[in-house]
A and B are shown apart, each in its own frame.
Chain A
């Protein structure tokens, strides 16, 4: 969570207090910093994310894939601690896969979201994980569920998350309209994530997009030089 008004100065590379030869970020936890987003459209969902993983001020991975498949038609967008979110996603993938085999039918997005919520709420004191669960199922079509830090669960037609989300709430509120087409959703997501990457230091790299519908999953990447350009001056 980033307070927009913090202006704490950062004096370049800091050496850790324990050992002069080893910089501080080698012992800091890897965070996904992040801008993630998910929207529903009639027939499916569109999800998007940036690709930056940071340890302190160092970018540990500039091409991270934060859109993680949980099942054939269900994805999650990860923000917060990289280790925590990878572990939770692995656990939920296993639980959902097992459940789906028992039921002998594709799982519901709501089930996946509840599995995430169960882990995130039970271990709320130990975890730092903000997750968006999005997918398509036969019962309710495209759905987006938000499971923020703390383990709340709420379904929303459009949701943003991560440290970069603060900068695009206004953009989302004014540009999202119900009943958009898939391509409009993809354009909106790409634009929103680009804007957030522009402003948030912890977000950057490429924009990863995916659209999920009954026909399957389509993934694409928008490289740095192909991002929509917004210049204020």
Chain B
């Protein structure tokens, strides 16, 4: 069946092509199976009067080490749709990239911006097909002709829609703030403050969330991706510079050899522009 948003339609059913290969690889690594980088994470979203506000922290952890202090967890999907990702960093990054390219194909084919439900359905189909093996918990927010939308898609492919959502390891802390502070039809600054406070609660109370806070505001008029919206108060100043200026390494000799190119054969092919 030809789909308007992909070059090749995905095969139906579960795909276990790599199951045998993975089983073999596990044997080779002994006990040291490489750990995937998890984003730990606090992500949240709120629907307000004129659109949707998404928020995320910026810490990516590799067990107990912070792998990335300024990780971008709010991903671009379409001009009117952005997606926060929690779970395995590579999975959220690649899944959202794949979704974004397929929706670009759709936009080129149909001449319109995609609807948020379309993005949600595509994600749901893909994550369900992989049976939870893709560790991506996503919060999708966007504005389209049908209104302002906020959805969450779990790694097994379950979808929920609510006016306010939080995901990731810090979601309990964030949800406490959201449950207390959410009201329908909030104004923009109240909504931004609510999301900021929710992410901040995650940053403060969850070890795997931290560093800065990013915010993304989506409205009919456009998108405002503020990165960072709030900088961590615990940011330290670097004591030395790690950049080496020109002249650090002494040049002993310099030899310039021009590469001479000979024209061996020249052909001209007329283009038929009749």
Contact = CB atoms under 8 A, between A and B. Distances in A.
Interface stretch (B150-158, B197-205, B257-265): B150-158
Interface string B135-159: 1010000000000000000111111
B154 A19 contact: no
B160 A64 contact: yes
Nearest to B155: A27
A58 interface: yes
* A19, A22, A23, A58 — most chain B CB neighbours (10 Å): A22
Contact of A21 (B64, B128, B159): B64
Interface of B: 14, 35, 38, 40, 61, 63-64, 86-87, 124, 127-128, 131-132, 135, 137, 154-160, 162, 168-169, 172, 206-208
A20 B63 contact: yes
Interface of A: 18-23, 26-27, 29-30, 53, 55, 58, 60-61, 63-64, 81-83, 86-87, 126
Given A26-B86, A26-B87, 14 more contacts: A19-B35, A21-B169, A22-B40, A23-B169, A26-B137, A26-B168, A26-B169, A30-B156, A53-B158, A58-B172, A64-B160, A83-B128, A83-B158, A86-B128
Contacts of A61: 160, 162
Nearest to A21: B208
Contacts of A60: 154, 160
> When A and B form their complex, which 7 residue pairs have the shortest distance between CB atoms, in order from nearest?
A82-B158, A21-B208, A83-B156, A83-B157, A83-B158, A30-B158, A61-B160
Majority secondary structure, A binding face: mixed
A61 B175 CA distance: 11
Contacts of A83: 127-128, 132, 154, 156-158
B154 A21 contact: no
Contact of A86 (B137, B158, B162): B158
B123 to A, nearest CB: 12
A27 B135 contact: yes
Contacts of B124: 86-87
B86 to A, nearest CB: 8
Contacts of B61: 21
* A20, A26, A86 — most chain B CB neighbours (10 Å): A26
A82 B63 contact: no
B169 A22 contact: yes
21 contacts: A19-B35, A19-B38, A21-B63, A21-B64, A21-B206, A23-B169, A26-B86, A26-B137, A27-B155, A30-B156, A53-B158, A55-B154, A58-B172, A60-B160, A61-B160, A61-B162, A64-B160, A83-B127, A83-B132, A86-B157, A86-B159
Given A26-B87, A61-B162, A81 B38 contact: no
A182 to B, nearest CB: 30
Given A21-B40, A22-B208, A126-B14, A82 B154 contact: yes
Contacts of B156: 29-30, 81-83
Contacts of B157: 83, 86-87
